[in-house]
Amino acid sequence: MLNEWEAIIPPYDPGSYNVRLADSSHPLDFRIGRDYRGRFVFQLDAECAEPGALDLPKMSAMTCEVEPAGDGRSRFVLTLSNAADFRNFALMCKSLMLATDKFTPSQAREGLLQAVEEVHRWQEMLRRRADRLLSKTERIGLVGELLFLRDVLSDRLGWNAAIRCWNGPGGHEQDFVVAGSIFEVKTQVVTADRRIRISSEDQLDPVQGRILLCNQGIAPLPSVDPAARTLNLLVSEIRDAMAQAGSGAPELLDIALLEAGYEERQDYDEESWVLVDRTYYEVCGTFPRIERSDLRPGVDMVKYSIRVSDCVPFTVSDDEVFGGIIQ
């Protein structure tokens, strides 16, 4: 979509747009284009009873407006003010389309409201991300999820399907959802006493469906070692593999990385890692965990640790993990 957008020629008439349909397979009328000043624009036409009541975000890098479109419809228009921010702007617009692709054409109004909400989410995400380095724990977690994406899912599903299974960066409770099965990926530096950190009472609650815990151990390694991967190198290799596969997966990867707070920085080349082991556990029966139903009223936002040694009886093989999921 980025290349198609850049190829659009600005119109000559003041106040006009040169736009084209963003994606003919999308149920809503999203359009990409440029205005007469050459600025990139993103539009959605929909019926909106009270456009003036919309809570439109205010951002320095772009304007967000609703204008009449005729026939009782309104036009939601995002206009990029600074061309230097084009990449993030385009990724945000792609994210808006992903967030609304389950609506039907008759639900365009609901889609418009969802699009506005998604812009607010990106505004907050970009504000938090500004000049912030990921912590070591966050870096290790991201390396682990990328290794799972590369080593486990891409071979079984292909890159385009694999990247769509990755939910973790968007703030979801589950890291990956594959054909209804939930994968929690927990990665630690290999130590004698390994523990799995659980971030909430809902994360391992089977009421959500079948849950599989993928526990990975990684170890630091000098960057000169052929097996070593820095975070930046891992991202670059995955992006190149996706591009060679000829799918739209690289854009989805970039959206996920932005949501995870990652942007390429030299700081992320100062440490490199190698995968040591990967083990799957099925969360069922007496698996050590806390469920929401275990808590007394008023208790929430629970964080706790599980000893890996106590998970051993629940170990499952690759065939047991994927046999009923991927044919």
pLDDT band at 192 (very low <50, low <70, confident <90, very high): low
Per-residue pLDDT reduced to its tens digit, 213-228: 999 999 999 888 889 9
Each domain of the chain, given as residue ranges in start order, spans 2-129, 136-322
Query: What CA–CA distance (Å, rounded) separates 193 from 118?
Result: 41
Give the integer Cα–Cα distance in Å for 156 and 185. Answer: 17
Q: 295-303: which pairs have CB atoms within 8 A and are 24 or more residues apart?
A: 295/201, 300/201, 301/200, 301/201, 302/200, 302/201, 303/197, 303/198, 303/199, 303/200
3-state DSSP helix/strand/coil % of the chain, to nearest 5? 40, 25, 35
- pLDDT grade for 171, boundaries at 50, 70 and 90: low
Largest CA distance in the chain: 71
Quick check: 165 pLDDT over 60?
yes
| Residue bearing the bigger pLDDT, 261 or 248 | 261
CA angle 5, 258, 209 (to 5 degrees): 110
Residue type at position 251: E
- Residue 103 pLDDT: 93
Query: What is the model's pLDDT at position 67?
Result: 83
Position 51 confidence tier, pLDDT thresholds 50, 70, 90: low
164 vs 61, which has greater pLDDT? 164
Q: How many Å apart are CA 223 and CA 274, to the nearest integer?
A: 10
Question: Is 111's pLDDT higher than 70?
Answer: yes
pLDDT of residue 71: 76
Looking up tokens 């599989």 gives: 212
Segment 34-49 mean pLDDT: 88
Per residue in 299-317, pLDDT tens?
989 999 999 999 999 999 9
- Write the CA distances from 216 to 134, 149, 202, 322, integer angstroms: 20, 13, 21, 17
What are the angstrom distances between the C-alpha of 10 and each of 7, 18, 58?
Answer: 10, 6, 25
Distance from C-alpha of 289 to C-alpha of 273, rounded to nearest angstrom: 29
Confidence of residue 327 (pLDDT cuts 50, 70, 90): low
pLDDT interval class at 191 (50, 70, 90): confident
- pLDDT value for 94: 92
pLDDT, one tens digit per residue, over 115-137 is 999 999 888 888 776 668 899 99
318 touches 283 (CB < 8 A): no
Nearest to 98 by CA among 168, 11, 164: 164
Q: Tell me whether residue 226 is exposed, middle or buried, using C-beta atoms within 10 angstroms of its C-beta: 0 to 12, 13 to 18, 19 or more.
A: exposed
pLDDT of 173-186, one tens digit each?
789 999 889 999 99
